[in-house]
Amino acid sequence: MTYAIGDIHGCHVALNTLLAQLNPITDDLLICLGDYIDRGPDSRGVVETLLKLKRTHNLIHLIGNHEVFLGKALRSDADREFFLGDLVGGTPTQNSYGKSLADIPEEHLQFLLEYSRLYYETDTHIFVHGGLLPDKPLSEQSVETLTFTRFPLEAPHYSGKTMVCGHTIQGDYPKKSGEHGICIDTGAGKGGWVTVLEVETGICHQANEEGEYRKLDANMEVTGGFSYITREE
């Protein structure tokens, strides 16, 4: 199975809830779409969990615009002030690591900034954080386009492949752009859900920071009811 994991934004309880429900095996492909940090309470825990998962599973991780903001914040005072402000929500990230951004371990910075991909492509799908230009190959798309473009797509990508993205909050449920795009950012870090898409089936799994879980069918109707995972103290 191929799982696309939407924006997490420091929501460690939600991430753990989903992993407990999905129980991915080593043959599964896990594609994280970026925005692992900011807004939510435990960015450090999220990165630590993903690093552990990367050691044991086939995990691809993309860079999101919030990781781009972090990279800039580490290089200039003005960008750091912007990063720590309410718009980006970087202060909870800093607090989860210590007293300053300098407390972020090198292994975590490498995961977030150096080893993250801008996109991932399969025979049928293109995975990006933000979006893409429909008339250009992926190799010619800019960092800004791939990480900051807002959903929906203005037109299908010329490759004919379906784009899967995050970045643009869709409310409680993922939304489609015809048959050529789907956005699975459902408001994690702002009281919403972390969403995981089963790419082959269209089924979605969602969890929030209260440990609440639900399952959606391909039409985004709730089919799995609600269940709760014990919240870690």
The answer to whether residue 50 is domain-embedded is yes
Residue that the structure tokens 């609600």 belong to: 226
Residues 6 or more apart whose CB falls under 8 angstroms from that of 5 comprise 18, 30, 31, 32, 33, 194, 195, 196
Q: Give the helix ranges, DSSP H, for the chain.
A: 12-22, 43-56, 65-73, 77-84, 91-97, 106-109, 143-148
The answer to whether residue 233 is domain-embedded is no
Q: Is the pLDDT of residue 225 over 70?
A: no
Total number of domains constituting the chain: 1
What angle separates helix 12-22 from helix 43-56, to the nearest 10 degrees? Answer: 30
**CATH number reported for the structural domain that contains residue 205 in this entry:** 3.60.21.10
More confident residue, 229 or 203: 203
Q: What are 71-123's pLDDT values in tens digits? A: 999 999 999 999 999 999 999 999 999 999 999 999 999 999 999 999 999 99
The answer to whether residue 215 is domain-embedded is yes
The secondary structure of residue 219, as a DSSP letter, is T
Q: Is the pLDDT of residue 232 over 60?
A: no
Beta bridge partners of 206: 195, 214
The Cα 225–Cα 112 span in angstroms is 34
Domain around 118? 2-228
The answer to whether residue 193 is domain-embedded is yes
